[in-house]
Amino acid sequence: MSLSVQQRALRQAVHERMANAPQWGWILADCLGRMNRGEWCPEFVDAVLQKWERFDYDLYDAYCFVQVRTWVGTGALLCSRVPIGADPLPDQDRTGNNRILSQLGPPFAAQFGGGAADCDGYLQWDKPLELVTNLDDGSRKCQVVPPRSVPLEVGLTEGATTYWHLAQSRGLARWAYGSKDLYLFCVVEPAQGGAGGRIGT
């Protein structure tokens, strides 16, 4: 199977990181093992990336996951759930997915298109939105995000796709198979230190 532009760019970034900092090999191997053993919250893993089979995870998936988890844990990336009350339907059922998305309450509105576009659709809000994220140090970060729209990805998705949206659009709404919530990610500040580095690097 041919790789997307995002997947090729991600692989190059991982190879460069591991060549310049060999400890990344240990970080990714540990994260990959924990992903395959189901030690991370399954819903959060699926929000970052979702594949047909859990044991299809690879080092590139682990890189995306450890980056996103670090950004959320340090407050550089806000992550909040938006209840929607139903699992997504197959991509082919645009009418059904849009019907479910139409049930989102104010200030949200969403549109699902599916297909081969850069994203499956968009989630937008028309009023300032307060997002609350639990940080790794046990505290909570609350921040108001102004009205905007972010790409929407529904069902299965690659870690490279999530990484690319966060770098390019500074946000993402994820509606994974088996989830009755949207996960809303919003970049609010550059990530500092740790495994995460800067968002988009």
Mean pLDDT, the chain cut into blocks of 10 residues (201 residues total): 84 93 94 93 95 82 96 95 96 96 95 87 96 93 95 95 94 97 91 48 48
pLDDT given for residue 67 in this prediction: 95
pLDDT at 191: 47
Taking the CB of residue 19, how many other CB atoms lie within 10 A of it?
Answer: 10
Structural domain total, the chain: 1
Find, among 48, 63, 69, 58, the residue nearest to 18 by Cα.
63
Q: What's the pLDDT at 194? A: 42
Give the domain extent around 60: 1-201
Look at residue 192 in the predicted model and tell me its pLDDT.
Answer: 45
Quote the pLDDT of residue 115.
75
Tell how strand 121-125 and strand 129-134 pair up: unpaired
Please tell me the predicted confidence (pLDDT) of residue 119.
94
Specify the pLDDT at position 4: 87
CA–CA separation, 189 vs 157, rounded Å?
25
pLDDT of res. 181: 97
114 and 120 in contact (C-beta within 8 Å)? yes
Report pTM. 0.90
Cα separation, 124 vs 163, in Å, equals 20
Beta carbons of 108 and 145 less than 8 angstroms apart: no
The pLDDT of residue 46:
96
Q: How far is it, in rounded angstroms, from Cα 79 to Cα 72?
A: 7
pLDDT value for 2: 77
Q: According to DSSP H, which parts of the chain are helical? A: 5-20, 23-36, 42-48, 59-74, 94-101, 159-168
CB under 8 Å to 181, separation ≥6 — which residues?
A: 43, 81, 82, 83, 84, 175
Q: In what order do the strands lie in the sheet with 148-154?
A: 77-83, 181-187, 171-175, 148-154, 121-125, 108-112
pLDDT (0 to 100) of residue 53:
74
